[in-house]
Amino acid sequence: MKKFSLTICAVLFASGPLLAQKIDVKKAFKQADEQTLVMLKEVEKVKAGKGKTDLATPRTIEDGALKLVGSKDWTSGFFPGELWFLYEYTGKKVWMEQARAYTSLIEQEQFNGKTHDMGFKVYCSVGTGYRITKDRHYADVIIQSAKTLATRFNPKTGVILSWDHSRDKWVNPVIIDNMMNLELLFEATTLTGDSSFYKIAVSHANVTMKNHFRPDYSSYHVIDYDPNTGAVLKKQTHQGYSHESAWSRGQAWALYGYTMCYRFTKDPAYLKQAENIAGFILNHKNMPEDLVPYWDYDAPNIPNEPRDASAAAVIASGLYELSGYSKSKTSYLQKADKMLNSLSTKYVSPVGKNKGFILLQSTGSKPSNSEVDVPLSYADYYYLEALLRYKGLKDKS
Ligand code: GLY
């Protein structure tokens, strides 16, 4: 009997979902640790060269130089978040100190109501810091940020306004990326007991589910609403190949966003939506063998199109969470493992190169020929998050 059980265990263990593709987390974090030390030096060099500067954190490499952004840039919170992840994995004091220092540069965004990007900026930095430290100050910043973000909610449309810019094209643009900002609102309700943040998040998720998706569960990038009636005026793209194409990172935001909404609400409609989006992403004929998507699923010259490692990192991280809720757990884990294995073996920078970025081959905005086939801070952020989620699942199994 004992021998039989051991045999069954051995078979299950060998074929178990988490071992479909083993990821060398230790090696991956060693590379990330070493690269981030390089990055800290590169950031200091750029800042020193500028004298007094508002530049806060690294975003990408542009014309061979490290590009830093101010706190109001939508990407400003990712690097502090990476530092928190490094602290979480290594426990090294230096990462905690750096994480706190870089997070403090972003905190002023809690009062900036001019954009929807509050979640990206504040939740990825301060929110990650709060999850790890439970520092009351961070909780207060999250709450104030949620109050500021809530001012962009319009009860007539039922959604949060994304951009104040591009008024020549859209009256009231809402982008699929905005799903990612809901995590901050849900967390603010958890912290305060004030359900108004939760209700805004649910309304935004529901209206987006109704208007942003095609019958095959791919997502449009931009939906333009009439702010007085809530009517949909346009369904278009900004960073995708065409209005009717499936921009890869947009699909990634959608998958991650609805999975996260299910975490907070347990609404089965969100779980179903996340599963349907995952079906589109994973079964698409243009998904490459290594599961790192081209920048748009409908890009015209596939396979001769740039990849988007950032989309793969967001999808992998989202799939690890989704695997914890879904009956299709095994298949999601296998796909996420394969993606993460590809990223950690084929898309990582050699140590000492690329200004200290961790991953290569992401695409910011191909239509405007901006940030094509380059490192991007958000690719690195979601890659480290995916590695930690993989490790968390493996430790439990
Ligand atoms: N939120 C902008 C982007 O995904 O590029």
pLDDT digit string (tens) for 144-153? 999 999 999 9
Residue of 390, 211, 217 whose CA lies nearest to 318: 390
Catalytic site includes residue 33:
no
Q: What share of the chain has pLDDT > 90, as a percent? A: 93
* Strand ranges across the sheet with 222-225: 173-175, 222-225, 232-236
Q: What is the pLDDT of residues 325-374, one digit of tens each?
A: 999 999 999 999 999 999 999 999 999 999 999 999 999 999 999 999 99
Mean pLDDT, residues 282-311: 98
For the chain, the average pLDDT equals 94
- CA 111 to ligand 1 centroid distance, Å: 21
Active-site residue, from 73, 177, 224, 337: 177
- Relative to the CA of 378, which ligand 1 atom is closest? 4
For residues 234-263, give the mean pLDDT. Answer: 98
pLDDT attached to residue 52: 76
Section 163-187 average pLDDT: 97
Residues with CB under 6 A from ligand 1: 74, 177, 239, 249, 364
Cα 115 to ligand 1 centroid, rounded to whole Å: 13
Do 313 and 359 touch, CB atoms closer than 8 A? yes
Atom of ligand 1 nearest to the CA of 177: 1
Helix (H, G, I), strand (E, B) or coil at 359: strand
Judged against a pLDDT cut of 90, whether residue 174 lies above it is answered with yes
pLDDT in the model for residue 20: 63
Find the helix packing angle between 377-396 and 329-346, rounded to 10°: 130
Tens digit of each residue's pLDDT (9 = 90 or more) over 91-134: 999 999 999 999 999 999 999 999 999 999 999 999 999 999 99
SS3 assignment, position 233? strand
Q: Which residue owns the Cα nearest ligand 1 atom 1?
A: 177
Residue 384: predicted pLDDT: 98
The closest alpha carbon to 160, from 214, 213, 199, 108, belongs to 199
Q: How far, in Å, from the CA of 178 to the mean position of ligand 1?
A: 9
Do 253 and 205 form a contact (C-beta atoms < 8 A)? Answer: no
- Using left for φ > 0, alpha for ψ between -120 and 50, and beta otherwise, residue 166 falls in left
Write down the pLDDT at residue 375.
Answer: 98
The one-letter code for the residue type at 288 is: P
